[in-house]
């Protein structure tokens, strides 16, 4: 997908504890001012800049700007993605962390990449998101829209879990495992990959269902269409079982709790900083195919 829009104003979100964040912010805002671009910031970024008048909460910020520049690691971008549920905004991720799988733009390339983006010369990958609802009896106790994954897992001392999995109401299996991951294609290279799940290209319309340390060797990961609804029920009585969303939100679960996972109506428009194919990213970030 290619966009050619007037990207004004611009929103800025920063991992404020990152080394060199303040200096980078000053360079970025100076560049925007030279281009006549107005900018707004999340509260932590505005505080770092000393410009409280430009502070907006993330949901308000997302609804007020035409472009979001995220300075941080993949975790920072995941948090931003959850704030874009009502109005998707193109996101440019700048890597201040280590891996930077989602935040692809390197610090040294920021000025050139941002200039190209502001001139309308960029492409966007539409990343699908999932919606998860946690049900206890007839009551919904949590709902969230996620970019990567939702995970059921146990603490170090909890017993092996029994997880009843159904797809569109049809029984799939009862997994005996340490847990289960339901991931988007974007999330297929995160926790799901570490648990032995497949790499799914980000443009595919699918979910990965990956058991964590299954007791049976026949319990293999599944790839299913994004048109289905996945239900996972915790069947076992086991203490210290949690539902973790994008690795950032945790919720304790009880026996009988159900997770319903479906494709969200929201997408994340992620800016591709330069022409590349996805296998370039795999080779660079994950050393995929290296001997």
How would you write the pLDDT of the chain (291 residues) with one tens digit per residue? 444 457 889 999 998 888 778 888 999 999 999 999 999 999 999 999 998 889 999 989 988 999 999 998 889 999 999 888 777 899 999 988 776 678 888 888 888 889 989 888 888 999 999 999 999 999 999 999 999 999 999 876 667 899 999 999 999 999 999 999 999 999 999 999 999 999 999 999 999 999 999 988 888 999 999 999 999 999 988 888 999 999 999 999 999 999 999 999 999 999 987 767 788 878 877 777 776
Q: Which CATH number fits domain 129-266: 3.40.190.10, 1.10.260.40, 3.30.565.10, 2.60.200.30?
A: 2.60.200.30
Active site residue 74: yes
Whole-number pLDDT of residue 93: 92
Answer yes or no: CATH 3.40.50.10330 is held by domain 2-120.
yes
The residues, ordered by sequence, that sit 6+ positions from 29 with a Cβ below 8 Å of its Cβ are 12, 39, 49
Report the SS3 class of residue 239: coil
Contacts of 259 (CB under 8 A, 6+ apart): 132, 133, 134, 135, 150, 152, 182, 230, 231, 232, 233, 243
CA 113 vs CA 107, 118, 221, 251: distances in Å: 10, 9, 38, 39
What tokens were used for 236? 């076992």
Tell me if residue 80 falls in helix, strand or coil.
helix
pLDDT given at position 195: 95
H or E stretch including 32? helix 21-34
Instruction: Using DSSP, state whether 107 is helix, strand or coil.
Output: helix
Closest by CA to 41, choosing from 11, 70, 71, 84, is: 11
pLDDT given for residue 121 in this prediction: 83
Output the pLDDT for position 4: 44
- Which DSSP symbol is given to 199? P
Domain ranges of the chain: 2-120, 129-266
Q: Quick one: CA torsion of 245, 249, 254, 255, rounded to 10 degrees? A: 10
The active-site residue, picked from 74, 149, 246, 257, is 74
What is the bridge-based pairing of β-strands 161-167 and 230-234?
Answer: antiparallel
């Amino acid at each position: 997908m290619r966009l050619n829009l007037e990207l004004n104003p611009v929103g800025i979100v920063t991992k404020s504890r990152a080394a060199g964040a303040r200096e980078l912010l000053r360079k970025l805002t100076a560049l925007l001012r030279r281009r006549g671009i107005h900018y707004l910031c999340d509260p932590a970024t505005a505080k770092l800049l000393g410009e409280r008048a430009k502070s907006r909460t993330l949901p308000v910020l997302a609804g007020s700007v035409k472009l979001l520049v995220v300075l941080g690691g993949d975790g920072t971008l995941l948090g931003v993605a959850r704030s874009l549920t009502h109005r998707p905004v193109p996101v440019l991720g700048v890597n201040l962390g280590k891996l930077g799988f989602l935040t692809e733009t390197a610090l040294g390339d920021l000025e050139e990449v941002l200039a190209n983006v502001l001139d309308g010369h960029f492409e966007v990958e539409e990343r699908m998101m999932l919606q998860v609802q946690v049900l206890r009896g007839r009551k919904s106790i949590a709902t969230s829209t996620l970019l990567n994954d939702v995970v059921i897992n146990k603490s170090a001392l909890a017993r092996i879990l029994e997880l009843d999995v159904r797809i569109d109401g049809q029984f799939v299996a009862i997994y005996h495992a340490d847990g289960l991951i339901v991931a988007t294609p974007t999330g297929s290279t995160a926790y799901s990959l570490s648990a032995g799940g497949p790499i799914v290209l980000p443009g595919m319309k699918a979910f990965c269902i990956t058991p964590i340390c299954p007791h049976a060797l026949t319990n293999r990961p599944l790839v299913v269409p994004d048109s289905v609804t996945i239900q996972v029920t915790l069947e076992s009585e086991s203490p210290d079982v949690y539902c973790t969303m994008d690795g950032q939100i945790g919720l304790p679960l009880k026996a009988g709790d159900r997770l319903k996972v479906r494709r969200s109506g929201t997408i994340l428009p992620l800016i591709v900083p330069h022409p590349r194919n996805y296998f370039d990213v795999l080779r660079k970030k994950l050393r995929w195919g290296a001997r």
